[in-house]
């Protein structure tokens, strides 16, 4: 069984189409867990409306702790309460990766332990031209990830990843809920424990309303890289 976590903070304008598309695409053997990260808008109300129709949709409310904490708490909930789930994934609430694209990742679950979507590896496409500063920053950061951690991955931050249950049982207790860099920790510890990682090119739809502040995120990224490297 597959469980998909959707972290959400003030996503009233974007989560409705995401839930509508995913819940209608994956109708069988899939559980959805929306982790409401202390939203102050109508995110919770919208999810509860969907729950009336879709029994495979669960809602977890938490105080605002950031995306990392939302995803990790969702993973812990699944490991504890859904024993039949052997694949645990997370996606962004903005539908930047539509179900058809996410489904490409599932094709690799037989031979790999961690499967991640990528906007930058060969074959990937983005619906509009990237802003030059963001492109330079993103590529530069991924280069640091490769050099410092030895992770041969072109896009550690793309918002769709799938983990086999045994991977999370092994590494989740080591992961700290950093707001933006928890992805790197998950991938790095998976690599350290010799789990097989597959990066899959997808078509990524850029969405307005991104909460990533590049200038604020970079110091946190670099700090995480250094900590992980010298653990």
Give residue 28's pLDDT. Answer: 92
Rounded Cα distance between 155 and 217, Å, is: 15
Q: 20 and 124 in contact (C-beta within 8 Å)?
A: no
Whether residue 136 is predicted with pLDDT greater than 70 in this model: the reply is no
Q: Locate tokens 């991955």: which residue?
A: 153
183 vs 67, 90, 133, 152, CA distance in Å? 10, 11, 22, 14
Per-residue pLDDT band for 145 (boundaries 50, 70, 90) equals confident
Rounded Cα distance between 137 and 143, Å, is: 10
Q: 158 and 119 in contact (C-beta within 8 Å)?
A: yes
Convert the pLDDT of each residue in 72-84 to its tens digit.
999 999 999 999 9
Q: What is the pTM of this model?
A: 0.92
Our count of domains for the chain comes to 1
CB atoms within 10 A of CB 223: 12
Residues 6+ apart with CB under 8 A from 60: 33, 34, 35, 36, 73, 74, 77
Q: What is the dihedral of CA 17, 204, 211, 8, to 10 degrees?
A: 40
Convert the pLDDT of each residue in 5-50 to its tens digit.
999 999 999 999 999 999 999 999 999 999 999 999 999 999 999 9
User: Burial, 212: exposed, middle or buried (Cβ in 10 Å; 0-12, 13-18, 19+)?
Assistant: exposed
Residues 6+ apart with CB under 8 A from 177: 65, 66, 68, 69, 71, 72, 73
Q: Locate tokens 């982790």: which residue?
A: 35
> Quick one: tokens of 96?
């930047």
Query: How many Cα atoms sit within 13 Å of 191 on the Cβ side?
Result: 18
User: Burial, 31: exposed, middle or buried (Cβ in 10 Å; 0-12, 13-18, 19+)?
Assistant: buried
* Residue 87 belongs to domain spanning: 2-229
CATH of the domain at 50: 3.90.550.10
């Amino acid at each position: 069984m597959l469980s998909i976590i959707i972290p959400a903070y003030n996503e009233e304008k974007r989560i409705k189409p995401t839930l509508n598309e995913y819940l209608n695409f994956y109708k069988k053997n899939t559980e959805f867990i929306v982790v409401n990260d202390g939203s102050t808008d109508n995110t919770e109300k919208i999810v509860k409306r969907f729950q009336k129709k879709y029994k495979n949709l669960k809602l977890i409310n938490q105080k605002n702790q950031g995306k990392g904490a939302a995803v990790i708490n969702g993973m812990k909930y699944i490991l504890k309460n859904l024993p039949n789930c052997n694949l645990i994934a997370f996606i962004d609430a903005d539908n930047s990766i539509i179900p058809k694209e996410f489904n490409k990742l599932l094709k690799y679950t037989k031979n790999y332990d961690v499967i991640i979507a990528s906007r930058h590896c060969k074959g990937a496409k983005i619906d509009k031209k990237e802003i030059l500063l963001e492109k330079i920053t993103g590529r530069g950061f991924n280069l640091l990830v490769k050099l410092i951690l030895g992770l041969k991955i072109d896009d550690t931050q793309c918002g769709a990843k799938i983990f086999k249950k045994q991977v999370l049982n092994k590494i989740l207790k080591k992961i700290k809920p950093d707001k933006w860099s928890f992805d790197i920790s998950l991938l790095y510890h998976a690599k350290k424990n010799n789990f097989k990682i597959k990066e899959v090119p997808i078509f990524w739809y850029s969405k307005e309303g991104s909460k990533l502040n590049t200038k604020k995120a970079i110091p946190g990224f670099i700090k995480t890289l250094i900590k992980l490297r010298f653990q």
